[in-house]
A and B are shown apart, each in its own frame.
Chain A
């Protein structure tokens, strides 16, 4: 049985390259409370390789990441 986690805040960063995708992620986190979940859509390639790594480094927790049919990635992150 799986529980569905829903994002408290959602940001579609399709087409947003590095490093602005991370900048926008950080801005989103700055407006959220600790424990809330941020949902992101990230492009394949450098964005999915870099953004999760950076948010982990800042102490946040990646809850899930899965590739969608169009090749982009859906990522759920819990704010530290």
Chain B
């Protein structure tokens, strides 16, 4: 059992006071390891809240540097951070909020080659990537390794998120199957996004991570939570594991990790405008 310091008791008092979290839950948080994929719109608010919550080890991976167009929504990055690596910028803020935790930074693109090595050992993965090849790769790797994760996506005024417990609940491929053709995909850069949406979604993902670690409540599994901020209508669409899922179904056709077409690793040498 951890012997909390006076400072920790005060810092985490609002968690300890919660019947369902309590001393045990805070201890679990301090011992937990969460990986955040992408230090952008979703990853930033998630990183700040997970750091504040006292998640003991937080990994954060992103190869980009901060640009002025990021600041409208990527809330851990400040004007002074322009041209600084996103993971360094995020880590600085996380440690400023909570020096109690360990932040591991990875200035890298996730690809089939490196993903297993990076995500192995984490208890939970929070997907905040901007692109579908990586989203599918995160899904596949987490399913192969049995690591629970939160999927999140935002576009314009909309957001969606689901939590996946591999082998038990619907995975991202159960419902979305394969990445959409690259030319059909509107990115945030092309489509735009209301900045606060990123905070709404990223903090939902962070709450799921905290719930998973502490065992509180019911996770957002077998359901896709979607919202439209124009009407503030929230919907939970029921999903289920599909027997025909190429990854977690009865006869899986995906048996190893591969990079989808126009992988992020290729983007490294052929950068697209951010």
A and B touch in the complex (CB under 8 A): yes
Which residues on A are within 8 Å of B, measured CB to CB? 19-20, 22-24, 26-27, 29-31, 57-58
Assuming the contacts A27-B4, A30-B1, A31-B1, asked whether A58 and B19 have C-beta atoms less than 8 A apart, the reply is yes
Q: Is B243 an interface residue (CB 8 A)?
A: no
Assuming the contacts A19-B17, A31-B1, asked whether A26 and B10 have C-beta atoms less than 8 A apart, the reply is no
Which residues on B are within 8 Å of A, measured CB to CB? 1, 4, 9-10, 13, 16-17, 19, 22-24
Rounded to whole angstroms, the CA-CA distance of A22 and B17 in the bound complex is 7
* Contact with A20, one of B13, B19, B22 (Cβ below 8 angstroms): B13
- Decide: B9 and A30 in contact? CB cutoff 8 A: no
Q: Nearest Cβ distance between residue A74 and chain B, in whole angstroms?
A: 23
- Decide: B17 and A30 in contact? CB cutoff 8 A: no
Query: A58 — which chain B residues lie within 8 A by C-beta?
Result: 19
- The 7 closest A-B CB pairs, nearest first, are A30-B23, A23-B13, A23-B16, A23-B9, A27-B23, A19-B17, A26-B16
- Decide: B24 and A23 in contact? CB cutoff 8 A: no
Residue of B nearest to A30 (CB): B23
Assuming the contacts A20-B9, A20-B10, asked whether A26 and B4 have C-beta atoms less than 8 A apart, the reply is no
Rounded to whole angstroms, the CA-CA distance of A58 and B4 in the bound complex is 21
Rounded to whole angstroms, the CA-CA distance of A26 and B19 in the bound complex is 10
A-B contact pairs, 9 of them (CB 8 A): A19-B17, A23-B16, A23-B17, A26-B16, A26-B23, A27-B9, A30-B1, A30-B23, A58-B19
Query: A27 — which chain B residues lie within 8 A by C-beta?
Result: 4, 9, 16, 23
Query: B4 — which chain A residues lie within 8 A by C-beta?
Result: 27
Q: Nearest Cβ distance between residue A5 and chain B, in whole angstroms?
A: 24
Rounded to whole angstroms, the CA-CA distance of A30 and B1 in the bound complex is 9
- Decide: A24 and B9 in contact? CB cutoff 8 A: yes
Query: B10 — which chain A residues lie within 8 A by C-beta?
Result: 20, 23
Q: Nearest Cβ distance between residue A3 and chain B, in whole angstroms?
A: 31
Rounded to whole angstroms, the CA-CA distance of A30 and B16 in the bound complex is 11
Query: B1 — which chain A residues lie within 8 A by C-beta?
Result: 30-31
